[in-house]
């Protein structure tokens, strides 16, 4: 078969998790919690199943969950989406992003991504026949470089994808930066995907600035989030997209012939669980404590942690330990030191080398402590 994605292999997350399992390394590579979710959540799934909520749900998702999502976005970001026409429940953020790309990108269109970026964006654009236009984030700070973004915009730019809090750099955009993006896009026809899967993981009192909270952006944006991150259930693969009715209508045309719809009892369980905002309101403090514990431990190693403003990732500079390229360093760290990590170069098309590795701190305290003990031997 002639490959549609000839450059693509197995994702780095799958590769490193498999290696961690094979070698018994502490897995700080792939981003997922090693602790379980609130038991109230699976109890709600079981209840929904026993109530007979087991057949196809409406194509866009069950109404109570769409209502909850709309209410949450309004409460946190001040923008009211219509639950009937503007919220769609998806099979995780991954499907939401692919579907958003497929519904608006035509062959030959340009799509701007900011590098380093999540590994699914570029293949999604290529599957749609689009051209990936890569604009680097500012080296070191990983903040958006608006001069370079402005230079990359062209009449062919159909779409741009942004992600804050950012995987892998843990940078959180400010309101001023989101507003600057809105001003830059104002004279264009460019649509936006705002990947906000880490929206509830922001630290030190900094707010998450959703594209939904800036009217000029909300009008052109697919806002994407994931229940997997927020409720510690990455394996459930349920997320959502919020977008103006005209965009949501196009999104649903593709969605209905892609997955059609998403697991019914899980949607009802999430809707009931979301009645209480405490779990997501408490998430920043929950992860900030883990971040601080992890960073205090890293201070006792020869790894140098960069900033962590949001997400559950920590970049570390390993130049005091090794001059290996990032991919080889992460393999060595996994095999020889027993800690799996992700090379930052995996988030760049050209494999740009900066001597940085990504570690995930969404782990039990004892897991983090065991990893730190091993890293202190470096």
Query: Which residues lie near ligand GLN (CB under 6 A)?
Result: 11, 13, 30-31, 167
What region does 129 belong to: left with phi over 0, alpha with psi -120 to 50, or beta?
A: left
Q: Please say which residue, 220 or 229, places its beta carbon nearer to ligand PMP.
A: 229
CB of 52 to ligand PMP, least distance (A): 27
Written as one string, the DSSP assignment of 28-81 is -SS---SSPPPTHHHHHHHHHHHTT--S---TT--HHHHHHHHHHHHHHHS---
Candidate residues 17, 27, 44, 94; the one interacting with ligand PMP per rule CB under 6 A: 94
CB of 207 to ligand PMP, least distance (A): 19
Q: Please say which residue, 48 or 97, places its beta carbon nearer to ligand PMP.
A: 97
Gyration radius of the chain over CA positions: 20
What residue is closest to ligand PMP based on CB? Answer: 92
Residue 61's binding partner among ligand GLN, ligand PMP, none (Cβ under 5 to 8 angstroms by kind) is: none
Q: Please say which residue, 17 or 94, places its beta carbon nearer to ligand PMP.
A: 94
Task: Write out the binding residues for ligand PMP, residues 217-276 only, by CB under 6 A.
Answer: 226, 228, 234, 237, 239
Six token digits for residue 366: 């004892």
8 A C-beta contact, residue 91 and residue 318: no
Six token digits for residue 136: 């680097």
**Distances in whole angstroms, Cα of residue 65 to Cα of each of 83, 84, 90, 132, 155:** 9, 11, 12, 34, 38
Task: Write out the binding residues for ligand PMP, residues 325-344 only, by CB under 6 A.
Answer: none
| Cα 262 to chain centroid, rounded | 19
Residue 226's binding partner among ligand GLN, ligand PMP, none (Cβ under 5 to 8 angstroms by kind) is: ligand PMP
Alpha-carbon gap, residue 217 to 131, rounded angstroms: 23
Q: Please say which residue, 221 or 226, places its beta carbon nearer to ligand GLN.
A: 226
Contacting residues toward ligand PMP, per CB under 6 A:
31, 92-94, 118, 163, 167, 195, 197, 226, 228, 234, 237, 239
């Amino acid at each position: 078969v002639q490959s549609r994605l000839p450059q693509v292999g197995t994702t780095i997350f799958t590769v490193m998790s498999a290696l961690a399992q094979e070698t018994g390394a502490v897995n700080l590579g792939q981003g997922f919690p090693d602790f379980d979710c609130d038991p109230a959540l699976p109890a709600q799934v079981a209840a929904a199943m026993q109530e007979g909520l087991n057949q196809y749900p409406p194509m866009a998702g069950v109404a109570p969950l769409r209502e909850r999502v709309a209410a949450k976005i309004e409460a946190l970001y001040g923008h009211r989406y219509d639950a009937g026409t503007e919220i769609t429940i998806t099979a995780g953020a991954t499907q939401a992003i692919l579907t958003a790309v497929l519904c608006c990108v035509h062959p030959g269109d340009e799509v701007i991504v900011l590098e380093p970026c999540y590994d699914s964006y570029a293949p999604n654009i290529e599957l749609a026949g689009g051209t990936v236009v890569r604009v680097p984030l500012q080296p070191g700070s990983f903040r958006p470089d608006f001069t370079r973004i402005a230079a990359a915009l062209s009449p062919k730019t159909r779409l741009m994808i942004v992600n804050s809090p950012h995987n892998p750099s843990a940078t959180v955009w400010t309101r001023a930066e989101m507003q600057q993006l809105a001003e830059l896009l104002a004279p264009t026809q460019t649509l936006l995907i705002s990947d906000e899967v880490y929206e509830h993981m922001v630290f030190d009192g900094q707010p998450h600035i959703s594209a939904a909270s800036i009217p000029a952006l909300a009008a052109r944006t697919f806002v994407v989030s994931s229940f997997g991150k927020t409720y510690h259930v990455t394996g459930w693969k349920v997320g959502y997209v919020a977008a103006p009715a005209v965009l949501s209508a196009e999104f649903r045309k593709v969605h209905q012939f892609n997955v059609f719809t998403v697991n019914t009892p899980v949607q009802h369980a999430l809707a009931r669980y979301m009645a209480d905002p405490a779990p997501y309101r408490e998430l920043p403090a929950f992860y900030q404590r883990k971040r601080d514990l992890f960073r205090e431990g890293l201070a006792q190693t020869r790894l140098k942690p960069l900033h962590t403003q949001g997400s559950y990732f920590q970049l570390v500079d390993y130049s005091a330990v090794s001059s290996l390229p990032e991919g080889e360093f992460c393999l060595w760290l996994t095999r020889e030191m027993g800690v799996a990590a992700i090379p930052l170069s995996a988030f760049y098309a050209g494999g740009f080398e900066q001597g940085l590795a990504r570690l995930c701190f969404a782990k039990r305290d004892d897991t983090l402590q065991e990893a730190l003990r091993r890293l202190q031997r470096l």
